[in-house]
Amino acid sequence: MLIVIRSTEGFFVDITYVQSAVAKGAVCLDGSPPAYHFDRGSGAGINNWLVHFEGGAWCNNITTCLARKDTSFGSSKKMVKQLAFSGILSNKPQFNPDFYNWNRIKVRYCDGSSFTGDVEAVDPATKLYFRGARIFVAVIEDLLEKGMKNAENAVVSGCSAGGLTSILHCDNFKALVPMGAKVKCFADAGYFINVKDVSGVQHIENFYDDVVKTHGAAKNLPSSCTSKRKPSLCFFPQYMSQQIQTPLFITNAAYDSWQINNILVPGVADPHGTWHKCKIDLKNCSPSQLQTIQGFRIEFINALTGLGALKSRGYFINSCHAHCQTETQETWLRSNSPVLNNKTIAKAVGDWFYDRDPFQNIDCPYPCDKTCYNRNFDPQRESISIDYAGTTKAILWNNSYKEIQNA
């Protein structure tokens, strides 16, 4: 698979292992220390901090967690030593005007629970550690020691399962950052919704129920939600985000490609593969399939009411068939990036953070938006093409199969 990295747009950042976390029991699935990549701020951004959490889905039982244990999603021993920063993590003002000179951190994801798990006991047979919630605190404490204790502005963000992390831990992050700092939360493709799959089964609800039980996550989910609902429902932003006190911004595609592939049409709900071509590219959908897809968009928009009507909320919901739009330059900020109400995601998020202009916009239905970069994934070819306005522009990212399949 071709990997495309423009030297003028992206750069590599070394890994940092949080060795001090081990003594606190804040470790990856395999017991290795958590890790992050850190590019220090400069100039006017020296006391501004952007803490961005990596995505990578979840493991919901011993079998799936053991499968993650020997990958970068379960062990820092398996993580690459350098990671490319671009998009919201870029250090160039032309590509990231509001955050380029901030301290920018990408926290690696190695616990499988969106940093909510905490089980003290370790089964000697599996040697699995379920300690995601401890990792969250240990990483933030490490960053405080490295200068975040002087933060003037701070954002917790993330993509996919990392975007869910930034929602679930939004108020926790604010509580850990020094009083007086301006703190906001931003989630990219992290607003996973509770909807039945095409066979009528509550697939994702059952899956999240297993995640919460396996990782002992209930006690680390917002009590304002768990006091009213079964804990696993509080893993869905639509049921818990209204109680979040800290300002929150959601960026999501209404036709989220991961959610369509794994929530609406998981493999188990499509045993004969009749949805295969449609899931790769919405242009291949039959009229009845497209009707189902449009129904998913309506369900997604309805679930957004869970955010509440506060002015401190922001959202950029475009009609792209995409998943995660902030980490790549093409979709974050370029001359031909996706726009909504004539604003790129970068502009909308920056205006919202700095209180220049509120942003709460939902796109018209597919296929009206001609600015989309649609991610057309073919699992049989293990390739992903980025389709811009109907023209395939490039094949991007090594290991994209893992990234798309693992949220």
Q: How far apart are CA 201 and CA 407, in angstroms?
A: 21
The CA distances from residue 163 to 66, 94, 97, in Å, are 24, 24, 21
Beta-carbon contacts of residue 348 (< 8 Å; ≥ 6 apart): 251, 314, 316, 340, 359, 361
Q: Which residues are catalytic?
A: 160, 256, 323
Cα Dmax for the chain: 57
> Is residue 28 helix, strand or coil?
coil
Beta-carbon contacts of residue 92 (< 8 Å; ≥ 6 apart): 8, 9, 100
Q: How far apart are CA 308 and CA 302, in angstroms?
A: 11
DSSP one-letter string for 276-338 = HHHHH-GGG--HHHHHHHHHHHHHHHHHGGGG-S-TTEEEEEE--S-S--SSSHHHHSSTT--
Cβ pair 34, 76 in contact under 8 A: yes
The CA distances from residue 151 to 45, 107, 120, 154, 323, in Å, are 10, 18, 32, 6, 30
